[in-house]
Amino acid sequence: AQTVTQSQPEMSVQEAETVTLSCTYDTSESDYYLFWYKQPPSRQMILVIRQEAYKQQNATENRFSVNFQKAAKSFSLKISDSQLGDAAMYFCAYRSARYGGATNKLIFGTGTLLAVQP
């Protein structure tokens, strides 16, 4: 079974600085997707960034980028120029690339609570 591990329960960053959130996963599959979701105090889950395992190029979305190391099964999120609105719980998630019902469930890590200091 696949597992996702986030070893940093809490992180803090100064406004305008850069912070990296760690995520490792375990799977025997070769094709899958990885995601970072943000959950602010409103508790609405928001997709931050996604990565297809077959792509070697790291995904980027504006101030958000990932460092995807497939062999090491590592998927870290870098937030540049941190803003107060980035304060939230961040979840790393895994999804099999096989399509069909429960096989497409998202497997979440335990989350990292990010605080942004003004």
Partner 1 sequence: GAVVSQHPSWVICKSGTSVKIECRSLDFQATTMFWYRQFPKQSLMLMATSNEGSKATYEQGVEKDKFLINHASLTLSTLTVTSAHPEDSSFYICSASKGPDNYGYTFGSGTRLTVV
Separation CA 50–CA 37 (nearest Å): 9
Least distance (Å) from partner 1 to the CB of residue 90?
Answer: 11
Q: Cβ distance 112 to 89 under 8 Å?
A: yes
> Between residues 14 and 40, which has the closer beta carbon with respect to partner 1?
40
Integer Cα distance of 77 and 103 in angstroms: 25
Torsion angles phi and psi, residue 32, rounded to 5: -165, 175
Q: How far is the CB of 39 from partner 1 (least distance, A)?
A: 9
CB 106, CB 39: distance < 8 Å: no
Looking at beta carbons only, is 14 or 49 nearer to partner 1? Answer: 49
- Indicate the DSSP class of residue 118: -
* Shortest Cβ 11–partner 1 spacing (Å): 14
Which residue lies nearer to partner 1 by CB, 11 or 106?
106
Measured from the CB atom, is 82 or 109 closer to partner 1? 109
Q: Residue numbers of the site for partner 1 (CB under 8 A)? A: 33, 35, 37, 42-45, 47, 50, 52, 89, 91, 93, 95, 97, 99, 101-102, 104-111, 113
What DSSP state is assigned to residue 7?
-
CB of 74 to partner 1, least distance (A): 19
